[in-house]
Amino acid sequence: DSGVTQTPKHLITATGQRVTLRCSPRSGDLSVYWYQQSLDQGLQFLIQYYNGEERAKGNILERFSAQQFPDLHSELNLSSLELGDSALYFCASSVGTLLYNEQFFGPGTRLTVL
C-alpha cells in the first residue's frame, strides 16, 4: 500500500457525460500527478500540481481539467466523455517537485465509457 488513495475504483458512464476522479496523496506529500493508461496511448503524464498550483502539463485534453485543494487532495474532471477516454487513471504523489522526489502511485480508477 503506497498511502495514496483514489476513489472510485471503478466508474462506468456514457458518452457525453462528466465525471470526477479523486485522489488523496500520502501524508506529507505536496505534489500530485495524474497519469492515464490506455491500450492506445500507453501510460502518459497528464498534469501535475504542487501545493495547490499547477506545475506541469502533459498530454491533457482540453475537456479534462484538474485542481488541488487546500487539504492537498486533487480531483481530475473529465467532461464530454468519449469512448476513447476509457482508461485506467492513476494518481501519484511525491514530497516535492524535484527530480529525485520519488512518486508513489495510487491504485487507480478504471473508467469505462459506453
Partner 1 sequence: ELKVEQNPLFLSMQEGKNYTIYCNYSTTSDRLYWYRQDPGKSLESLFVLLSNGAVKQEGRLMASLDTKARLSTLHITAAVHDLSATYFCAVVTSGSRLTFGEGTQLTVNP
Give whichever of 45 and 79 is closer to partner 1, judged by the CB atom.
45
Q: Is residue 103 a contact residue for partner 1 (CB under 8 A)?
A: yes
Which one of the spans 11-19, 64-72, 76-84, 86-94 is the region binding partner 1 (CB under 8 A)? 86-94
> Smallest distance from the beta carbon of 28 to partner 1, in angstroms?
16
Q: Binding pattern to partner 1, positions 9-38, x when CB under 8 A?
A: ----------------------x-x-x---
For 27-78, where are the E strands, in sequence order? 31-38, 42-50, 53-57, 64-68, 74-78
* Contacting residues for 60 by C-beta, under 8 A, at least 6 apart: 34, 46, 47, 66
Which residue has cell 495547490? 52
Cβ proximity of 30 and 11 under 8 Å? no
Distance CA 54, CA 109 (A): 21
Q: Is residue 105 a contact residue for partner 1 (CB under 8 A)?
A: yes
Residues that bind partner 1 (CB under 8 A): 2, 31, 33, 35, 42-45, 48, 55-56, 58, 88, 90, 92, 94, 97-108, 110
